[in-house]
Structure 1
Amino acid sequence: MTRETIDQLLEADGELPLSDDLGRAAAAWFDHLVHERGHTPATLTSYERDLRQFLGFLRRDLGHAPCLADLGRLEVKAVRRFLAARRREGAASRSLARTVSALRTFYRWLEATDRVTNRALAQVAMPRLPHTLPKPLTVEKAAALVETGGADDDWIRARDVAVMLLLYGAGLRISEALSLTCRDAPVAGRDVLRITGKGGKERLVPILPLTQQAVERYLALCPYPRDAAAPLFIGAKRGPLSPRLIQLAIARMRDALGLPETATPHALRHSFATHLLAAGADLRQIQELLGHASLSTTQVYTEVDRARILAVYDRAHPRA
């Protein structure tokens, strides 16, 4: 990533530029994230946005373009003013927590490369996150969703079903399913996919015969020829398929199938994990299938299953 690219990113809000030393440091950090850490474009975009907002705040707070020395002099109260300003702009706790995490990563890299040492961000408590549980669909609702599809045109319906089966049948994230190329197509003879997920973490995911058949049907009906490196899933105008189109397809089916508002593409991934757990799958196995770096992330599904069992108990027990 070039300095010119970083300048374009960080000047997007019209409030910067940076001093030369900080601009070079930001460019080097992004190069590190791309080439050494292997972060995805989505993660890089989030880090860029968080850093830009922080440096924009410093620009206003200091009255001049921030430099590395300013980052070295950063005080805890300045970080708290920044977070308070973001809160007034409507940022939720989850967004603020992600921002703090990104800035801590930046500061750790500055320290590791002998540019700046400052522990102000480490002394700031992470914003409290509301304890929310994943909202999976029932087995019946999930099956109805992936069997119905979401469009009138045959090849588009076949495409949507294939994507949704990858989410529910293999536990893929929507970004992972839509990043597959034709070379990766999980058709007959390929019953395992190698998926690169968040943070460049690789995992092997088994593919059900039903999902293979759905992908084969989509490819047979799709009117556009493509080479091996082309995206597997495409839109009506032949461009890469947008996640928004799958979101809209599911939204259109909610009323017809009596689905809750929480029925989203990611709810299918939640349903994959919850239904496996309810059927007796080991939590470690589910962690591997989902590509979670930490088992604690996967353990939330035990709470989902416990909540479901208690709800059934409350409805069924005569003295409940």
Structure 2
Amino acid sequence: MRAELELEVRRFLLALRADRGASPHTLRAYKTDLAEFARFLRKDPGADLGNFRRCRLAVREYWVSLSRRKLRPASLNRKLASLRSFFKYLTFEGKIEANPFVYLPPPKKDRSLPRFLTEKEVEAFIGTISRSVHPLALRDRSLVEFLYASGLRIQEAVDLNVEDVDLWNGTARVFGKGGRERVVPVGEPCLKALELYLEGRPRAERLGSAGSGRAVFLNFRGKRITAAGARKALERWVRGAALDKRVTPHVFRHTFATHLLNRGCDLRTVQEMLGHKSLISTQIYTHTSVEQLKRVYDAAHPRA
């Protein structure tokens, strides 16, 4: 079963890349989720892709084990979506007689609001980095400024090349999910931080054994920073900013969208800048702070 499953997973990932143009980030997520499922199946020596009844039972047991882990709905849904797509592929290829996920209840929707920072918290976070003499402070500040100014996903940010950023016109060319290209505006504070960082980059590159001249954001070895490396870099500054919140790169994406909407930007424009294929994905950001709701109420209601 193990060898058979691993072979089908490899074929599935190849099909995702060839037929759907899946990004490296998406492929890694699928691979991780399917590897976790494979480890679970090792506990059941009788599990067999060719035996639909046993296969359906194994899928249900795995679903129950995930539910018991009390994962966030978004995390649980992603894992189940990976498996659902994999078994749909197996069904289409004739490897199994039916998709066992048809018999499982649909996953719960994630109704939690996205975490975001207030404008004062953003200023405090960036200020902490700006005052630091840490050798990577210029890089980290420009990265944070970029995430907040453009709303990029972290993988989109670390994939940026120097030629993708137009410092003169204040724009950046981004390749998002599914290889979709978009151009996003970049504000003046971000451009200034980026210019300072790029001016000091030749020194940073000499620290590394092999420079990565095209990448915008480099690690301390002078190579393109990874998404995991960027997340770790941001964790360094949370304590100094005295924020009682978990700050991740995606929090700045949420913050970007929230602040735009709070200041009157329309939902369609936010959708385009975030690179969402569907407006439904953007509507989660229509939540607003209590303060914003009160301001609108006080301004609009005749008896406020």
Please, what TM-score do these two structures have when normalized by structure 1? 0.78
> Cα distance, 1:67 vs. partner?
4.8
Q: 1:280 aligns with which of 246, 260, 264?
A: 264
Q: 1:115 aligns with which of 95, 109, 113?
A: 95
> Cα distance, 1:75 vs. partner?
5.9
Backbone CA RMSD of aligned residues: 3.1
Can you list the C-alpha shifts for 1:258-305, whole angstroms capped at 9, x where unaligned?
x33144332222121111111211101101111122212211111234
Q: Which residue of 1 aligns with 2:195?
A: 216
> Cα distance, 1:84 vs. partner?
1.6
> Cα distance, 1:92 vs. partner?
4.5
> Cα distance, 1:58 vs. partner?
3.5
Given that 2:174 and 2:183 are in contact with CA atoms closer than 8 Å, whether structure 1 keeps it comes out as: yes
Provide the C-alpha distance between the structure 2 equivalents of 1:221 and 1:229, rounded to a whole number of angstroms: 13
Given that 2:212 and 2:222 are in contact with CA atoms closer than 8 Å, whether structure 1 keeps it comes out as: no
Can you list the C-alpha shifts for 1:223-246, whole angstroms capped at 9, x where unaligned?
134877542212233233311343
Q: Which residue of 1 aligns with 2:8?
A: 25
Corresponding letter in the other structure for 1:95: S
Given that 1:107 and 1:117 are in contact with CA atoms closer than 8 Å, whether structure 2 keeps it comes out as: no
Please, what TM-score do these two structures have when normalized by structure 2? 0.82
Given that 2:117 and 2:251 are in contact with CA atoms closer than 8 Å, whether structure 1 keeps it comes out as: yes
Corresponding letter in the other structure for 2:170: D
In the alignment, structure 1 residue 106 sits paired with structure 2 residue 93: no
Change (3 A) 1:150 1:192: closer
Provide the C-alpha distance between the structure 2 equivalents of 1:141 and 1:178, rounded to a whole number of angstroms: 23
Q: 2:235 aligns with which of 239, 244, 248?
A: 248
> Cα distance, 1:42 vs. partner?
3.0
Change (3 A) 1:81 1:17: closer
Structure 1 runs, 4 residues or longer, greater than 6 Å off: 311-315
Given that 1:250 and 1:264 are in contact with CA atoms closer than 8 Å, whether structure 2 keeps it comes out as: no
> Cα distance, 1:155 vs. partner?
5.4
Percent of aligned pairs with the same amino acid: 32
Change (3 A) 1:262 1:304: farther
Provide the C-alpha distance between the structure 1 equivalents of 2:143 and 2:115, rounded to a whole number of angstroms: 19
Change (3 A) 1:49 1:235: closer
Q: Which residue of 2 aligns with 1:236?
A: 220
Corresponding letter in the other structure for 1:35: A
> Cα distance, 1:90 vs. partner?
5.7
Can you list the C-alpha shifts for 1:81-140, whole angstroms capped at 9, x where unaligned?
211223445645433322211111112222333433413202312332452112222223
Given that 1:194 and 1:204 are in contact with CA atoms closer than 8 Å, whether structure 2 keeps it comes out as: yes
Q: Which residue of 1 aligns with 2:160?
A: 180
Unmatched tracts of structure 2, length 5 or more: none
Q: Which residue of 1 aligns with 2:171?
A: 192
Corresponding letter in the other structure for 2:223: G
Q: Which residue of 1 aligns with 2:273?
A: 289
Corresponding letter in the other structure for 2:3: L
Tell me the SS of whatever aligns to 1:284.
Answer: helix
- 1:139-150 to structure 2, matched below 5 A, reads 139-149=119-129
Corresponding letter in the other structure for 2:89: W
Q: How many residues align structurally?
A: 294
Given that 2:87 and 2:100 are in contact with CA atoms closer than 8 Å, whether structure 1 keeps it comes out as: no
Given that 1:135 and 1:267 are in contact with CA atoms closer than 8 Å, whether structure 2 keeps it comes out as: yes
Given that 2:84 and 2:101 are in contact with CA atoms closer than 8 Å, whether structure 1 keeps it comes out as: yes
- 1:1-320 to structure 2, matched below 5 A, reads 17-19=2-4, 22-61=5-44, 63-64=45-46, 67-70=48-51, 72-73=52-53, 76-88=56-68, 91-149=71-129, 152-153=132-133, 156-184=136-164, 186-222=165-201, 223-225=203-205, 229-241=213-225, 242-255=229-242, 259-305=243-289, 307-310=290-293
Provide the C-alpha distance between the structure 2 equivalents of 1:134 and 1:23, rounded to a whole number of angstroms: 35
> Cα distance, 1:53 vs. partner?
2.8
